[in-house]
Amino acid sequence: MKISDLITMCVQNLLRRKVRTLLTVVGVVVGTCAIVVMISIGVGMQASTDAMLASMGDLTLIEIYNYGSGGGSNTQAKLDDETLKQISQMDGVVVVTPFYQAYDINASIFAGKGDRYEMSLSNVVGIYPEALSSLGIELVDGNGFPTENLKPYGIVFGEKAAYAFRDNKKKPGYNYVDSWPDANGNVKDPFVDLKKDKLRIQTGSNDEDKETKVYTYDLTYYGRMKEDYNKGYETSQGAYMDIDDLKQIRNDYYKANNMKLPEDTGYQNAKVKVTDISKVSEVQKAIEDMGFSTWSLDSIREPMEEQAKQQQLILGGLGAISLFVAALGIANTMIMSIYERTREIGVMKVLGCFVGNIRTIFLMEAGAIGFMGGVIGIILSYMISFAMNTFGFSMSGSDMSSYYGTDVSIIPPWLVALGLIFATCIGLISGFYPANRAVKISALEAIKTDG
């Protein structure tokens, strides 16, 4: 028999008992809709979790801490430039940079006539200048550190760093400008215009009664970062400098005060940017094996993702129960069809119809019921998903999805394909036993049967 003949017979047989076929299809529709909607809610929960983690910080960033010894095999590891170079060569690493601060020196950034305005140098962090653009930091002004011809003592300020300057001619408590709006919603201008005013770093003495040589460094303004506390306090009222420049300032300070530099135990902390989330665990484990303590949002993400997967399995399982009931309905319909068409099967065999063709007809009917139910079920799932997202339905009763701007129910393309394939396969599997039963019917016995 031609494929067109098989399809024609399949359609005619399904339309012969319209009500029974319709009720069987409805069972598949309910099952498909249940499993798609349930899984879509799980996908929505996952999206909310990812959005929440993203709001907490960069998911591809690893922080390294040097406490003198770590949890790995090399407890004497030193977090220095050579170690960071090794880390930068690891698979998946985009950039690595130390975060260096000169807490132990008396130095400030000055502006204004007579050094009237002052900001502590402790607000300034030294990094590898080439790392700034890779750390995901946005700029509200300037272009950041240039890749070529970087001038000495270049600096990139935080968005509100100008408000970190105090007025040395005013009393404490009145010598800062508040960066927050007043009762009328107005924000006062800071004392300093970072882009236009001449700025310089000046070191002092570690002993007020002792005169010492003063070092002065003129700063080059390279821009201002957008405030984002997830990326560090420096983006607000701090600043970034070339780490070599900050080290030079510290060395000059110790030299001017005739002090010996403390023993170099390495950087206190550093940050590593990797290509994507999938590389975080691998790189983090490799760094810990070097003897350092690390932290990343991956330590929070993994258990949350595991919980989300479990929720998806539970929700999908509830939907699968409905589809299993639908499978029983298809099997029942096909078995009833065999009893009603026993004589027809016998005639087909007597006329020389291949056994495989008879099996194919019944499998096509069962598969068609599953496919039609899958298509309608997916369409209905989209309608339910739209209603859930429009009216803000939540399985947990929380408003986390709307808070993070994600949908309660998300139906990705793979879920549509999965629902359709699953429904069709359920139909074929349910029709396999009836189809085999049909081909085993004796032709002579079938012809004798009334029907």
Q: Using one digit for the tens of pLDDT, what is the confidence trace for 246-284?
A: 999 999 999 999 899 988 889 999 999 999 888 999 999
**Residue of higher predicted confidence among 89 and 428:** 89
The SS3 call for residue 322 is helix
Banded pLDDT at 430 (limits 50, 70, 90): confident
Q: Within a 10 A sphere around the Cβ of 403, how many other Cβ atoms?
A: 12
Residue type at 148? E
Residue 141, judged by CB atoms within 10 A of its CB (0-12, 13-18, 19+), counts as middle
Over the stretch 324-362, which tens digit does the pLDDT of each residue have? Answer: 777 777 777 777 776 666 666 666 666 666 666 777 777
pLDDT at 438 over 70: no
Banded pLDDT at 446 (limits 50, 70, 90): low
Banded pLDDT at 205 (limits 50, 70, 90): confident
Ranges 197-201, 260-264, 298-302, 334-338, most confident: 197-201
Average pLDDT over residues 221-250: 93
Residue 1 has what pLDDT?
Answer: 60
Point out the least confidently predicted range of 9-23, 86-100, 216-230: 9-23
Residue 71 has what pLDDT?
Answer: 42
pLDDT at 11 over 70: yes
Tell me how far apart the alpha carbons of residues 342 and 442 are, in angstroms, rounded to a whole number: 9
Say what percent of the chain tops pLDDT 70. Answer: 85
Q: Within a 10 A sphere around the Cβ of 269, how many other Cβ atoms?
A: 18
Residue 361 has what pLDDT?
Answer: 79
Rg of the chain taking only CA atoms, in angstroms: 36
Residue 355 has what pLDDT?
Answer: 66
pLDDT at 74 over 50: no
Residue 311 has what pLDDT?
Answer: 74
Q: Within a 10 A sphere around the Cβ of 134, how many other Cβ atoms?
A: 13
The SS3 call for residue 63 is strand
DSSP lists the bridge partners of residue 149 as none
pTM: 0.67
**Residue of higher predicted confidence among 74 and 32:** 32
Q: How far is CA 5 from the centre of its chain?
A: 51
CA dihedral 167, 172, 178, 183 (to 10 degrees): -130
Degrees (nearest 5) of the Cα angle 163, 166, 167?
125
Residue type at 414? W
DSSP code at position 188: P
Average pLDDT over residues 161-183: 90
Average pLDDT over residues 407-425: 88
Residue 444 has what pLDDT?
Answer: 58
Degrees (nearest 5) of the Cα angle 93, 127, 261?
125
Query: Rounded mean pLDDT of the chain?
Result: 83
Q: Which residue carries 């408590």 as its tokens?
A: 173
pLDDT at 421 over 70: yes
Q: Any residues with CB less than 8 A from the CB of 39 and at least 6 apart, and which?
A: 312, 315, 316, 319, 415, 418
Banded pLDDT at 64 (limits 50, 70, 90): very high
